Structure 1
Amino acid sequence: MKRFFVQRKNIFLASILILCLILSTLAFAQQESRENQQKVKNVILMIPDGMTIAHTTLARWYQGGEPLAMDEIACGLVRTYSANNPITDSAPAATAYATGYKTQNRYLSIYPEMVSMPGVGQVEEKDFYKPIVTILEAAKKSGKSTGLVFTCQFPHATPAAFASHTDNRNDYESIAEQMVYNQVDVVLGGGYKYIDKNQRKDKEDLAGYLKQNGFFVTTSWQDAKNFSGQKIWGLFAQDAMHYDFDRNGTGESSLAEMTQKALQVLSKNRNGFFLMVEGSEIDWASHANDPVGVVSEVLAFDKAVKVALDFAKSREDTAVIIASDHANGGMTLGNYSTQYDSALLNDFLKYITKAKRTGAGIEELLGNNKTDENIKKIVSEYYGIDNLTPDEINAIKNAKAGNLNYVLGPIISKRSNIGWTTNGHTGEEVVLYAYHPNGYIPRGVIDNTEVCDYMAEILGIDLGSFNESAYISNIDLEEKGYDVSLDTSNPTNVQLVINKGSRTYIIPQNKNVVLEGSNQYKLKYVSVYIPSAKRFFVSSEVESLIK
Structure 2
Amino acid sequence: MKYSKKWCSLLLASAIALSSISIAQPQVQAAQVKKPTNVIMLVMDGSSNNAVTLSRWYKGENLAMDEILSGAVRTYSAESAITDSAPAATALATGHKSNAKFIGVLPAVINSPGLAQIAKEDAYRPVANVLEGAKQQGKATGLIATSEIQHATPAGFSTHVKHRSQYDDIAEQQVYQNIDVVLGGGFDSLAPGTAINARQDGENLVDVLKEENYDIVKTRDELLNSKKSKIWGGFAPSALAYDLDRAATRASEPTLAEMTRKAIDTLKKNENGFFLFIEGSKVDWAAHANDTIGIISDILSFDSAVKEAVDFAKEDGNTMVIAVTDHGNSGITMGNANTTSTYSTTPVSAFIAPLKKAKMTIEGALSQLNEDKSNIVEVAALYGLDDLSKDELATLKSAKDMGKVMVKMLANRANIGYTTGGHTGEDVFLYSFGPSKITGLVENTDLAHAMANFMGFDLNKLTDDLYIPATKAFTEKGYASKIDLTDKENPTFIAQKNDVTVTIPVNKNILIYEKDKTAKTYTFDTINVYNGTDFYVSKKVLKVLK
Normalised TM-score (structure 2):
0.88
- Secondary structure at the aligned position of 1:270 is classed as coil
2: CA distance, partners of 1:520 / 1:257 = 39
Superposed displacement of residue 366, structure 1: 0.4
1:346 aligns with 2:342: no
Alignment of 1:397-436 (within 5 A): 398-399=399-400, 405-436=403-434
- For 1:335, the equivalent position in structure 2 comes to 336
- Secondary structure at the aligned position of 1:499 is classed as strand
Given the alignment, which residue of 186, 189, 194 partners 1:191? 186
Superposed displacement of residue 409, structure 1: 1.9
Superposed displacement of residue 462, structure 1: 2.3
The answer to whether the 8 Å contact 1:472/1:540 transfers is yes
1:446 aligns with 2:471: no
Instruction: Look up the equivalent residue of 1:205 and give its one-letter code.
Output: N
- For 1:503, the equivalent position in structure 2 comes to 500
Alignment of 1:208-357 (within 5 A): 208-249=207-248, 250=250, 251-338=252-339, 339-357=342-360
- For 2:38, the equivalent position in structure 1 comes to 42
1: CA distance, partners of 2:48 / 2:415 = 17
Superposed displacement of residue 491, structure 1: 1.2
The answer to whether the 8 Å contact 1:192/1:219 transfers is no
Cα deviations across residues 216-274 of structure 1 (Å, max 9, x unaligned)?
Answer: 11212211110112110011111100000110141111101111111110111121100
Gap runs ≥5 in structure 2: 1-27
Superposed displacement of residue 133, structure 1: 1.1
- For 1:140, the equivalent position in structure 2 comes to 135
- For 1:485, the equivalent position in structure 2 comes to 482
- Secondary structure at the aligned position of 2:133 is classed as helix
Superposed displacement of residue 211, structure 1: 1.3
Superposed displacement of residue 500, structure 1: 1.6
Q: Relative to structure 1, is the Cα distance of residues 85 and 176 closer, same or farther in structure 2, using a 3 angstrom cutoff? A: same
My pick for the range that moved more, 94-103 or 176-185, is 94-103
Cα deviations across residues 69-105 of structure 1 (Å, max 9, x unaligned)?
Answer: 1101111110001111111111111111111111111
Superposed displacement of residue 463, structure 1: 2.1
1:69 aligns with 2:64: yes
The answer to whether the 8 Å contact 2:107/2:124 transfers is yes
2: CA distance, partners of 1:466 / 1:389 = 64
- For 2:155, the equivalent position in structure 1 comes to 160
Superposed displacement of residue 467, structure 1: 1.6
The answer to whether the 8 Å contact 1:76/1:443 transfers is yes
2: CA distance, partners of 1:228 / 1:290 = 38
- For 1:370, the equivalent position in structure 2 comes to 373
My pick for the range that moved more, 357-366 or 116-125, is 116-125
Normalised TM-score (structure 1):
0.88
Superposed displacement of residue 185, structure 1: 0.5
- For 2:457, the equivalent position in structure 1 comes to 461
Cα deviations across residues 451-480 of structure 1 (Å, max 9, x unaligned)?
Answer: 111111222222232122322224424753
Q: Relative to structure 1, is the Cα distance of residues 516 and 460 closer, same or farther in structure 2, using a 3 angstrom cutoff? A: closer
Instruction: Look up the equivalent residue of 1:219 and give its one-letter code.
Output: K
The answer to whether the 8 Å contact 1:39/1:457 transfers is no
1: CA distance, partners of 2:146 / 2:311 = 21
- For 2:22, the equivalent position in structure 1 comes to none
My pick for the range that moved more, 210-219 or 334-343, is 334-343
Matched pairs, number: 505
The answer to whether the 8 Å contact 2:475/2:481 transfers is no
1: CA distance, partners of 2:218 / 2:49 = 35
2: CA distance, partners of 1:454 / 1:395 = 50
1: CA distance, partners of 2:148 / 2:442 = 29
Q: Relative to structure 1, is the Cα distance of residues 95 and 393 closer, same or farther in structure 2, using a 3 angstrom cutoff? A: farther
1: CA distance, partners of 2:351 / 2:296 = 13
1: CA distance, partners of 2:118 / 2:511 = 29
My pick for the range that moved more, 474-483 or 404-413, is 474-483
- For 2:364, the equivalent position in structure 1 comes to 361
Q: Relative to structure 1, is the Cα distance of residues 368 and 312 closer, same or farther in structure 2, using a 3 angstrom cutoff? A: same
- Secondary structure at the aligned position of 2:159 is classed as coil
2: CA distance, partners of 1:188 / 1:396 = 39
Q: Relative to structure 1, is the Cα distance of residues 141 and 405 closer, same or farther in structure 2, using a 3 angstrom cutoff? A: farther
Superposed displacement of residue 522, structure 1: 1.9
The answer to whether the 8 Å contact 2:474/2:495 transfers is no
- Secondary structure at the aligned position of 1:476 is classed as helix
The answer to whether the 8 Å contact 1:289/1:409 transfers is yes
Q: Relative to structure 1, is the Cα distance of residues 46 and 545 closer, same or farther in structure 2, using a 3 angstrom cutoff? A: same
The answer to whether the 8 Å contact 2:229/2:267 transfers is yes
The structure with higher relative contact order (CA 8 Å, sep 6+) is: 2
1: CA distance, partners of 2:122 / 2:372 = 55
Superposed displacement of residue 519, structure 1: 1.9
The answer to whether the 8 Å contact 1:78/1:448 transfers is yes
1:89 aligns with 2:84: yes
- For 1:521, the equivalent position in structure 2 comes to 522
Q: Relative to structure 1, is the Cα distance of residues 140 and 343 closer, same or farther in structure 2, using a 3 angstrom cutoff? A: same
Superposed displacement of residue 118, structure 1: 2.0
Gap runs ≥5 in structure 1: 1-32
My pick for the range that moved more, 452-461 or 348-357, is 452-461
Instruction: Look up the equivalent residue of 1:155 and give its one-letter code.
Output: Q
2: CA distance, partners of 1:511 / 1:396 = 52
Largest Rg, 1 or 2: 1
The answer to whether the 8 Å contact 1:396/1:408 transfers is no
- For 1:110, the equivalent position in structure 2 comes to 105
- Secondary structure at the aligned position of 2:313 is classed as helix
2: CA distance, partners of 1:204 / 1:365 = 36
Q: Relative to structure 1, is the Cα distance of residues 395 and 529 closer, same or farther in structure 2, using a 3 angstrom cutoff? A: farther
Superposed displacement of residue 203, structure 1: 2.5
Cα deviations across residues 413-449 of structure 1 (Å, max 9, x unaligned)?
Answer: 111110011111001100001111x4x3222110001
2: CA distance, partners of 1:38 / 1:83 = 36
2: CA distance, partners of 1:510 / 1:444 = 38
Superposed displacement of residue 208, structure 1: 1.1
Aligned-pair identity in percent equals 41
Instruction: Look up the equivalent residue of 1:201 and give its one-letter code.
Output: Q
- For 2:21, the equivalent position in structure 1 comes to none
Q: Relative to structure 1, is the Cα distance of residues 160 and 538 closer, same or farther in structure 2, using a 3 angstrom cutoff? A: same
- For 1:30, the equivalent position in structure 2 comes to none
- For 1:387, the equivalent position in structure 2 comes to 388
1: CA distance, partners of 2:398 / 2:126 = 46
**How large is the RMSD of aligned CA atoms in angstroms?**
2.0
Cα deviations across residues 324-350 of structure 1 (Å, max 9, x unaligned)?
Answer: 101111010001221313322222122
